[in-house]
Amino acid sequence: MSAPMPAALLLPDVPCWLDGRWLPLNEARVSVLDRGFLFGDGVYEVIPVYGGRLFRFDEHMARLAHSLQAARIPDPQGPEGWLALLRELVARVAAHSGSADQLAYLQVTRGVAPRAHPMPPGLTPTVFLMSQPHTPPGPAQRREGVACVTARDFRWERGDIKSTSLLGGVMARQIAVDRGAAETILLRDSGHGMTVTEGSSSNVWAVLDGALIGVPPSTHTLAGIRIELLRELCEEEGIACHLRPIAEAELTIADEILISSAGRELLPVTRLDGEPVGHGALRGKPGPVYARLHAAYERAKVEQSI
Ligand code: PDD
């Protein structure tokens, strides 16, 4: 019997890869003793695919290597192996769905073992890849922007690892959902007052005095692939860009607030905790820095996908 699939999200029988073979997603099964299932003991990547090509592939591989190494899970493939697998996945999903724009997901868990907390030596990691047709945010969302709320960051201290242990992120996102907002911007006491760490599944940016300010990656802030990308795009556009802590109070005076992630790309935040973001005629509206970076991002999709 097929497992129930979430409605309207995925094609139930879209091809996926599990532990060395291709099979329809609704037929893929892992052991209940998989440590990914029991402990969230695994790492993952989400890679955008444009026109059948992987966006910023090398950067995703570098981050995957960091996550695996930090979690002490052996890399079962290496970059060449991942590239071949992901390309085949994208081609199969494109043939199945007719969509060359996708979000590819890859997950590596420590593997299957009797339940005990210590890391068992010598396990074979479980490798799972799937991809789904993806529509980036549309014109209406880009015109209107999105609403966000703020909340205290109650997640763990290894936010540099892209871990499948996501209960903290799920709980953080639900705070926004319960208030009709798109994302929760998380704040932590940094010793110098409350500062932004990141969104529940995005990085956060503020425009202050014409400069784009982003939060530097740390153990509280994932090294989002879009952090380096936006730095490069700012350079191209002649927009000043600095990575430094963003104080909570700066969010209330920012000219613009943006969020970035693989799926959402770059989006303007036009309401924060129910208040319009920005000043003057642009209060509550996407601003000029967003508009320029969005255009630059669209160009980068074409130039930086392999
Ligand atoms: N999440 N911070 C967190 C906690 C995230 O989960 C993500 C992405 C980001 C942005 O990283 P990137 O630009 O590399 O997507 C920052 C992915 C998309 C997810 O969990 O689906």
Q: Which of 222, 231, 265 to mutate to test the pocket of ligand 1 (most atoms within 8 A of CB)?
A: 222
236 and 189 part of one domain = yes
Q: Which residues line ligand 1 (CB under 6 A)?
A: 46, 169, 198, 201-203, 222, 224-226, 260-263
How far away, in angstroms, is 1 Cα from ligand 1 center? 33
Which residue's C-alpha comes closest to atom 19 of ligand 1? 201
Q: Is residue 3 part of a domain?
A: no
Query: Which pTM does this prediction carry?
Result: 0.95
Tell me which amino acid residue 306 is. Answer: I
**Is 107 within 8 Å of 164 (Cβ atoms)?**
yes
Structural domain count of the chain: 2
CA-closest residue to ligand 1 atom 8: 201
CATH, residue 228: 3.20.10.10
Question: Are both 116 and 172 inside the same structural domain?
Answer: no
E strand or H helix that includes residue 257: strand 256-261
Q: Are residues 39 and 127 in the same domain?
A: yes
Tell me, what's the pLDDT at 10?
67
Residues 15 and 109 in one domain: yes
- Tell me how far apart the alpha carbons of residues 283 and 297 are, in angstroms, rounded to a whole number: 24
Single residue among 81, 106, 133 that ends a domain in this structure: 133
Any domain includes 37: yes
Give alpha helix (H) positions in 72-127: 79-97
Task: Kindly give the number of the ligand 1 atom that is closest to the alpha carbon of 44.
Answer: 20
Cα–Cα dist 183/175, whole Å: 8
Do residues 106 and 161 both lie within one domain? no
C-alpha angle 32-37-41 in degrees, rounded to nearest 5: 135
| Residue pLDDT tens, the chain, 306 long | 344 444 445 678 999 999 999 999 999 999 999 999 999 999 999 999 999 999 999 999 999 999 999 999 999 998 899 999 999 999 999 999 999 999 999 999 999 999 999 999 999 999 999 999 998 999 999 999 999 999 999 999 999 999 999 999 999 999 999 999 999 999 999 888 999 999 999 999 999 999 999 999 999 999 999 999 999 999 999 999 999 999 999 999 999 999 999 999 999 999 999 999 999 999 999 999 999 999 999 999 988 889
Closest-lying ligand 1 atom to the alpha carbon of residue 225 = 14
Which is nearest to 153 in space by CA: 198, 110, 108, 90?
A: 198
Question: Taking Cα atoms as reference points, which of 146, 138, 248 lies closest to residue 188?
Answer: 248
- Compute, in angstroms, the gap from residue 233 CA to the centroid of ligand 1: 19
**Residues with a known catalytic role:** 162
CB neighbours of 2 closer than 8 A, spacing ≥ 6?
Answer: 12, 26, 27
The residue out of 133, 160, 186 marking a domain boundary is: 133
48 and 75 together in one domain: yes
**Is 213 within 8 Å of 231 (Cβ atoms)?**
no
- In terms of domains, do 36 and 117 share one? yes
CA–centroid distance, 291 to ligand 1, in Å, is 22
CA of 201 to the centre of ligand 1 (A): 5
- Residue range(s) defining the domain that contains residue 32: 8-133
